[in-house]
Structure 1
Amino acid sequence: MAKRNKAYTFRLYPTEKQALLIRKTFGCVRFVYNKMLAERKEMYALLKEDKDALKKVKLPTPAKYKKEYEWLKEVDSLALANAQLNLDKAYKAFFKGKAKFPKFKSKRHKQSYTTNVVNGNIQLLGGHIKLPKLKRVKIRQHREIPSEHKIKSCTISMTSSGKYYISILTEYEKEIKNKEIQNVVGLDFAMDGLFVDSEGKKANYPKFYRQMLDRLAKEQRKLSRKKKGSSNWNKQRIRVANIHEKVANQRKNFLHHQSKELAANFDAVVIEDLDMKGMSQALKFGRSVADNGWGMFTSFLQYKLNEQGKQLIKIDKWFPSTKTCSQCGSIQEMALSARTYQCTCGLTLDRDYNSALNIKKEGIRLLTTA
């Protein structure tokens, strides 16, 4: 039986006193992270020529700062310990070449902190959750966490509009058997509608961001006319933030439904391994690419398929799915503006549908040769 993790996100409704302590914790976590990063950079600058001495240096810990800064004792000590762990992870990722050098956190960073379960300090209590230092906080638990799932940690966060959320990370044991692959579907990324599949179905993504553009522009103009930092400016800032959050929530909900449907109906889903950032820059389709959330969609699809012992297969991004005839296999150049694929063999198909059929065929070929 393998151990697996799953996170559940719920809305929190803290009292004013609790909300103040949450915001204090955000600030303290950021302060400790930046302090430790500054000291590490200073040590490295002094000892970078002496690698043996650098290895022996004792790195700073949150406990060290509590003596000097008494107010750090007011907040959850586990949250400060996690700030140290996060910095360690950032350094390891940098030295492995997987990330850039750690940066100082500013107030504009995502406001969040993580705390861990120790001796029953975190418990769900029917409409409330018990948390370190905060005690009982009201929670909107819209779905049950299975009894066999053990709570490991919680991440409390605040959105730009001032809403509070909690992500509860759980651990459980489950043996997942790989499913025999019978039903396979290919998905071709579509700039305006998310995808077209090899069954001929279109996702028809509603373009939530574009629907809100006029309203967003109107509210942002109002914000620009107000004095920054004033009470009215802050109220207007929250209105703008609410629009952005609504769009993000609509997008996430749509992508969850689409990925769930695919994971339920197919044993394997085949997609192209696309570089979305590069595509948005090269083709100047940044807004369209960012709006449909292809990256988020594929990550949802990945974990939903994995939970059922199914597979997400990624084919090479250079595979000529658009240029290839799905009937005879011949290859021809295709202009970006051409929406219909016509071949000398007599095939006439929607460009994206033809591409999805080719993606499915390539995915099946990879499966049979694996």
Structure 2
Amino acid sequence: GLKDFAILSDGTVYKNPKFFRSLETKLAKEQRKLSRRKIQALKDGRKLSESKNYQKQRIKVANIHETIKNKRTDYLHKISTEIVKNHDIIGIEDLLVKNMMLNRKLAKSISEVSWAEFRTMLEYKAKWYGKEIIAVARNFPSSQLCSGCGYQNKAVKNLAVRKWECPECHAHHDRDTNASINLNQEALRILTSRTVGTTELA
């Protein structure tokens, strides 16, 4: 998710540290300074490769980008390792990140959380530890289904709805926790159907 990075079906919450946002102001300031030095070097008729002030500032900006990347990657490694080590079966949403990035309001936040990189880490670490990753179909309405009775509340499709009450069984749901429980149940269903199919073929 975007509010929290990940919520497991047992209620475990991994916060979204927003590493880029925490250094965004500093980065913007240093990038403006880099732009000014570029303009000045060109005015003075100097090549950027020969402008010491420009090169020093370019390295400073690159270092901030590197810091953000390293912090994010380290966090993803810690979470993915912890999840894979502690769970034999891991169900995840099969998100089409490329299409989601077309939403201008969410693009920066989606890019920052690096879902695709996180999934890659989960998949190769699962192979290392002999665990199972099951990607639930992207059209599965994980947020809309009541994890208690199965009622589908299509109004929950609106991302602004964070909590809701099932009109059928009156269970109270947190959007993300409810979705994680539904994903867990669907992943187990998929695994069971695969196992049954394999047994029948054998």
Shorter-chain TM band: 0.7 to 0.9
Q: CA deviation at 1:285?
A: 0.8
Q: Deviations over 1:260-281 (max 9, x none)?
A: 0001100011001101121121
**TM alignment of 1:221-370, pairs within 5 A:** 221-226=32-37, 227=41, 229=48, 230-282=51-103, 284-333=105-154, 334=156, 335-344=158-167, 345-370=169-194
Distance, in Å, in 2 between the alignment partners of 1:364 and 1:256 is 25
Q: What SS does the aligned partner of 1:271 have?
A: strand
Listed one character per residue, the Cα deviations across residues 278-307 of structure 1 (whole Å, up to 9, x for unaligned) are 112136311101111111111111111111
Q: Write the mapping of 1:32-111 to structure 2, written as runs, cut at 5 A.
A: none
Name 2:199's counterpart in structure 1.
none
The answer to which structure, 1 or 2, has the higher relative contact order (CA under 8 A, 6+ apart) is 2
Opposite residue 348 of structure 1, the aligned amino acid is H
Higher strand proportion (structure 1 or 2): 1
User: What runs of 5+ residues in structure 1 fail to find an aligned partner?
Assistant: 1-189
- Is contact 1:193-1:292 (8 Å) kept? no
**8 Å contact kept, 2:164–2:172:** yes
Residues 1:201 and 2:12 aligned together: yes
What secondary structure, in the 3-state scheme, does the structure 2 residue paired with 1:336 have? coil
Distance in 2, Cα, partners of 1:193 & 1:315: 20
Corresponding position of 2:26: 215
**Contact 2:2–2:16 at 8 Å: present in 1 too?**
no
- Give the TM-score of the pair, scaled to structure 1: 0.48
Q: Give 3-state SS (helix, strand or coil) of 2:83's partner.
A: helix
- Corresponding residue SS for 1:269: strand
Partners of 1:293 and 1:354 lie apart in 2 by: 22
3-state SS, counterpart of residue 129 of structure 2: coil
CA deviations on 1:236-272 (whole Å, 9 max, x unpaired) are: 0110000000000000000000000001100011001
Identity percentage over the alignment? 40
Contact 1:271 1:313 in 2 (8 A): yes
Q: Which runs of 4+ in 1 moved over 3 A?
A: none
| Structure with higher helix content | 2
Sort the Cα spacing of 1:356 and 1:254 in 2 relative to 1 into closer, same or farther, 3 A. same
Task: Determine the C-alpha separation between the residues in 2 that align with 1:312 and 1:332.
Answer: 28
**Structure 2: how far apart are the matches of 1:281 and 1:237?**
30
Q: Tell me, in whole angstroms, the C-alpha distance in 1 between the residues paired with 2:152 and 2:173.
A: 14
Alpha-carbon separation, structure 1, partners of 2:4 and 2:53:
38
Give the structure with higher Rg (CA): 1
SS at match of 2:13: coil
